[in-house]
Chains A and B, each alone.
Chain A
Amino acid sequence: MKLDLLTSLYVFMLGAFIGFEVIRRVSPLLHTPLMSLTNALDAIAVIGAIILVGERKSALSTVLGTIAIVAATSNLVGGFVITDRMLKMFRSSGPKKP
């Protein structure tokens, strides 16, 4: 248990560093789609909710977990759909020049 915890802290620290380095390089042009994409990725929390509901340990956990799956799935689907729609609109002037 204690070792797991330490490993988790390492994972969090490295994840945060990678996040800083990768996201620092995102052009301000794309900051809105970046936010909707990270939102969609954050919906990975759905896996926790799925296990919670599937294990059917208590009525409370089933009810709360089911609502949680709905909330996360709508983020997941909506987030990817809108990010892609936004990115589709970003065109370079190269091929468009008359």
Chain B
Amino acid sequence: MTAGTGTEQLIEVAYLVATALFILSLKWMSSPATARRGVRAGELGMLLAVGGTLLHHGIVDYKWIAVALVLGVIIGVPLGRVQMTAVPQRTALSHAFGALCVTLVGTAEFYLRAPDVSRFMMAVLSAEVILGSLTFTGSLMAAGKLQEVLPQRPITYKGQNVVNLALLAVAIGVAVYLVFRPEHTRLFPAIVGIPLVFGVLMIIPIGGADMPTVISLLNSYAGLSAAAMGFVLDSKLLIIAGALDGASGFILSVNMSKAMNRSFSNVLFGAFGQEQAAGASAPQARSVRSATPEEAATILAAANKVVIVPGYGMAVAQAQHKVRELYDALTRRGVDVKFGIHPVAGRMPGHMNVLLAEADIPYDKLLDMDEINGDFPQTDVALVIGANDVTNPSARNDAASPIYGMPILDVDRARTVMVIKRSMAAGFAGIDNPVYYLDKTLMLFGDARSFVGAIVRELAGGQG
């Protein structure tokens, strides 16, 4: 790899520096104060690596490279400028693009090298294209569901898991055969084609609320396939970038599954919504207390400490800017307002934080579950906006509940709980939430955005 010429050595040094910059880039992401420096480091590393690569002595033709780079920029810029509410589907789409790149390069490399492919090379090539192609279609499906061009509800049928696992097993079987008999090049399309189908089938049974885990898992696959490509091309830079991405996706997937108290296999093969619907008790005819915006405003204005718990419902209703107005109105009155954010609130890890930051709420008011839970007993009002299962105390104290063991936000420990909700319909898991029937709970029925807007108007009126 390292030819004796000066240019080749220069390229290797550029790669080495780029690798260090990539690691620093992720290190600086640890705090919002240094995070933008992290982006700069990443960009500089990328510039060095791509610039160095263009000097590579083997490159004899720049025409198509130039065309492709320009096209990539033309497509990439609008993808970087999407609305913040579209970030989950944009992320899924970029997993798909990354996986597409890896799969195409792997395919080209195979046909360039075949039939003279060593066993190890064939093994990593197989890993590259299998992971790459299933991530490609899987991510496209996830993006389609998030963009709501595909049905969000899980589609299940009898024997689904058997069909999926059998498909994957066939693809791996063919790959193993190719490792020992790479001269059978006609079999190669199978280890691209079968995983492409598997990727679609894998996402079909997955519902919207499982998206945070699925996106993280696809992120991890995309990273691992890039690392495999690094083995194929003997590029240490690519191996490390892929390992970093794979580790990141893996950590996020573990966080997400922990936050839902479920295993990976349960997310991928469980089709949660479907399975639990039968077990859920019919909504009981228990009575709830409801309140008007005036009453809610009076209670909030009298509070010292308020914790707002946002969920995906807030994003759907586009209520985050009204929530900011509420935050401002209460803060002006001297009320201490914080936000309690469950790890799986929204459609991807950190989704709520981005939406609230866009609405200009300072990030030091956004606390994650472990930070905020100790505060609820001293909290006057917990205001739940568009969240349900993540506040369900059955997860803590009802061993028969399907979500038993899932970590939740302990809103029921606050002095008063207010829940903004369209109706009494059950949440994603189809489970009734006992919080709604507590004496200290007030149900605020209506659209999240208009209801919060009405509270804000009441607060302004009361003050003037």
Contact = CB atoms under 8 A, between A and B. Distances in A.
Contacts of B332: 98
B3 interface: no
Contacts of B146: none
Interface of A: 1, 4-5, 7-8, 11-12, 15-16, 18-20, 22-58, 60-62, 64-94, 96, 98
Given A1-B118, A80-B42, A47 B363 contact: no
Interface residues on B, range: 35 or more
Contacts of A49: 68, 101, 104-105
A15 B244 contact: yes
9 contacts: A31-B348, A32-B348, A41-B45, A45-B226, A48-B105, A50-B50, A64-B108, A74-B72, A76-B46
Given A8-B236, A61-B108, A33 B35 contact: yes
Contact of B104 (A23, A65, A75): A65
**Chain A, interface SS category:** helix
A42 to B, nearest CB: 4
A7 B251 CA distance: 25
Given A32-B354, A75-B97, A54 B32 contact: no
Interface in B32-49: 32-33, 35-36, 38-39, 42-43, 45-46, 49
Given A1-B118, A16-B246, A32 B50 contact: no
B329 interface: no
Contact of B26 (A27, A38, A85): A38
- Identify which of B42, B46, B59, B108 gathers the most chain A CB atoms within 10 Å of its CB: B108
Contacts of A24: 251
A13 B82 CA distance: 36
B248 A34 contact: yes
A32 B25 CA distance: 15
A3 B108 CA distance: 25
